[in-house]
Structure 1
């Protein structure tokens, strides 16, 4: 929990701290361009088809069951897959970026096409390096070093944020900031891997144990696992792009800063989710139904209390908080602000149900349906924004997250073992 606190504190510091720094260094227009360009490569975060994400839980359950050889096979197989997919992804993406008029397509105003392409390519490489970082994190996690994984991830992100802020304050533009972020990410990945080699000599990156059969076995849960962050990323980034195209960069800043302030509350539920995630996996791997339900019960109660404790004061003190947060450049206006808070509260609630589902690989139905809801929500956001502006965008997001919350509550029954008589390995396979 201490490591998760550090992780979430880092997230809040970056979310809140970078906004005024970058607004001061670049101005509202350039910062809006940065937000738009940063939104594009986010969709490539899942270019590994979910394998690095599923490998983290998979390796934890394998090692907990005394199956190190299987964990190493998973580690090598996913590494081989990344080495096959990522060069192709980079080549195709660079080709696409260089062939599109970005200033027109993303409504970037007078920002130069060449600079926009350079920023996107650097951010793309950052996303690719992050896939390898996640896989290395799987190696750290598999021997139940969840605290180390969370701490290193937090410090790596903090260093990356400081690199961006420092570059901007020293007079660097968007290209320099993207380059600073990439270099920091690479250094963090290399550092973590060197630590892993000392802590767990049996775990090394390579292809010797890789297996096509292992990739095939992991394919279905990996694809389903991928859909959940894809859905969430769509709901975070798509409204920014829609607002940018329909209204302009200034409106993007208003929406983004308001939502960022409201979403600081997700740090609380993320802290809780991250703390108990490994417990769900271990309980399921050991076929311990009582432990599974006990963790779930306390998790849900703590999550509900956190939502109330955060949302009510935020709404009551919205005006001074927004003035302080944006130096008076963005105001808290209802009903827009209220709808954003309610949207975040719904997201916090459904994420506490999605955590145990994904931790025990019972997430397929939730992932499929939440993706469909998210896709419909993007269309709804476009229509509502076109007719009602920022209030319409907020209303659309509230509707979508409310629907996902209803879906998650309907799937609570899936958080259970297949049969109490099964062994840990049989339960996991089932």
Structure 2
């Protein structure tokens, strides 16, 4: 059974993720009607197309951040010493340098590529498209550098504090964007500037919190890469396939809809995907804290504890996701129509397929937490990349014949294939049989729900 400190850290992390979940729900349910109240459906669709690449950059850290976070957790084991500080300062400095190189490369591409023509935009000019694109790329890179600071908070046992701060800044960003759109009637460029300003504040605050915990970032643009950083880069290249594959599925599908069916179809697909991914946000309540904790539980003698944690956490998040999915099946259409002010048509079959895909995704992401938290990600990442490419290719073939629902079917098949791969791979590293995992997940976690409610009750009354 997990010890009390381990359980406490996971519960705190899940609580912080619950706050983040609430913020993401607010963004999903408020930003779409806010944008549609200020802009036309076509302009909003062009915004979604234009922001697809910057959103990908916000998901991708070249894998280095994740690999470095796992290594930092392994070295620190909750304790900070001079060796940990030196490693951490090298880690954050190198990633900042790489971020500047990435931005310089993007700047060069934008200087020679007319984005409005490339993305077939009609309402956003080439000049404004370039401005929006560069500002959002800068915001995405700032967000990724914020993840290196979250890695530091994880190493000091304060993962839940960092996640809570990220949620707070998410709320601030939502409020600022709403003000710019509704009060000022802002154009895409003005929304992008507002987003950048808020994003800039997050790493500054996290840097102060880390300094108070004895792990100051110590950014240094002139620091030379240490030999151990090249090893992490190798691990990171493997990790990089995970966000790249996710971007192929998420942003790639939006671009596919826009190029094959037009900007309005891209808006239809993106809004359906956003609403159905509410269940995926539920999964993150368990994935992030469990992954952070399992990165500290890599010793061979802890395998039994890891298996128990994995099955119990997966069961809790699966049943929570299933409950939300069932509710969305009942209220999905009226909720969607109210949410979009009736400006975007509801597609029932697409909605159902995407909802099924998010349930499958939640299962395989929970099952993958140990591999991803302990740098055993290679075969998983390669499999996800291959399946994502095949799935989007299948969607491209289907969409012209079937319309929007062909994309939804493709996404669902991608996540079903990933679940089969992850469960199979866990047999080797955790000696976790497929039958044990599936039965443990499908068994209703009544006992764990009671324990969780008691802990929450004690924190509220205490």
TM-score, normalising length: structure 1 = 0.91
Number of residue pairs matched? 417
1:35 corresponding residue in structure 2: 48
Aligned to 1:401: 415
Q: CA separation in 2, counterparts of 1:209 and 1:179?
A: 30
Q: Secondary structure at the match of 1:172?
A: coil
CA gap of 1:74–1:285, structure 2 versus 1, over 3 A, is farther
**Is the contact made by 1:19 and 1:326 (CA closer than 8 Å) also made in structure 2?**
yes
Say whether residues 1:141 and 2:154 are aligned partners. Answer: yes
CA distance in 1, matches of 2:205, 2:56: 26
> Unaligned 5+ residue runs, structure 2?
1-13, 432-462
- Counterpart CA distance in 1 for 2:352 and 2:60 is 35
Q: Residue by residue, what CA displacement relative to the aligned partner does 1:129-183 show, whole Å, maximum 9, x if unpaired?
A: 1232111111111111011111011112222222222211121110000011111
Match of 1:224 among 234, 238, 252: 238
Q: Distance in 2 between matches of 1:210 and 1:357?
A: 30
Shift of 1:45: 3.6
Call closer, same or farther: CA 1:20–1:154 in 2, change over 3 Å: same
**Counterpart among 77, 81, 100 of residue 87 in structure 1:** 100
The farther-off stretch of 22-31 and 156-165 is 156-165
- Give how far 1:217 is off: 2.2
Q: What SS does the corresponding residue of 2:122 show, helix, strand or coil?
A: coil
Is 2:28 aligned against 1:15?
yes
Q: 1:224 to 1:171 in 2, by over 3 A?
A: same
Cα shift at 1:195: 2.1
Cα distance in 1 between the residues matched to 2:81 and 2:223: 12
2:133 corresponds to which of 120, 126, 146: 120
Give the deviation of 1:70 after TM superposition. Answer: 4.0
Q: Counterpart of 2:406? A: 392
Of 86, 111, 118, which aligns to 1:98? Answer: 111
Partner of 2:253: 239
Q: TM-score, normalised by structure 2?
A: 0.85
The Cα shift of 1:333 comes to 2.8
Matches within 5 A, 1:205-284: 205-206=219-220, 211-284=225-298
Structure 1 gaps, min length 5:
418-430
CA distance in 2, matches of 1:94, 1:175: 16
State the SS of the aligned residue for 2:348: coil
Residues 407/114 of structure 1: CA separation in 2 closer, same or farther (3 Å cut): same
Q: Give me the whole-angstrom Cα distance separating, in 1, the residues matched to 2:180 and 2:361.
A: 33
Equivalent positions of 1:56-67 (< 5 A) are 56-64=69-77
Q: Could you say if the C-alpha distance between residues 78 and 252 of structure 1 is closer, same or farther in structure 2, counting changes exceeding 3 Å? A: same
Deviation (angstroms), 1:317: 2.3
> How many angstroms does 1:254 deviate by?
0.9
RMSD over aligned Cα atoms: 2.1
- Report the Cα offset of residue 71 of structure 1: 2.7
Residue number in structure 1 paired with 2:393: 379
Helix, strand or coil for the counterpart of 2:362? helix
- For residue 327 of structure 2, the aligned residue among 313, 316, 325 is 313
d(CA) in 2 for partners of 1:7 and 1:333? 28
Native 8 Å contact 2:357 2:411 kept in 1: yes
> What is the alpha-carbon distance in structure 2 between the residues aligned to residue 69 and residue 225 of structure 1?
27
SS at match of 1:335: helix
CA separation of 1:32/1:286 partners in 2, compared to 1, >3 Å: closer, same or farther?
A: same
1:335 alignment partner in structure 2: 349
Q: Structure 1 pair 310/364, CA: closer, same or farther in 2 (3 Å)?
A: same
Aligned-partner Cα distance in 2 for 1:334–1:203: 49
Q: Do the aligned residues in 1 keep the contact of 2:115 with 2:130 (CA within 8 Å)?
A: yes
Deviation at 1:128, TM superposition (A): 1.8
Whether the 8 Å CA contact 1:139–1:196 is kept in 2: the answer is: yes
More deviation in 329-338 or 264-273?
329-338
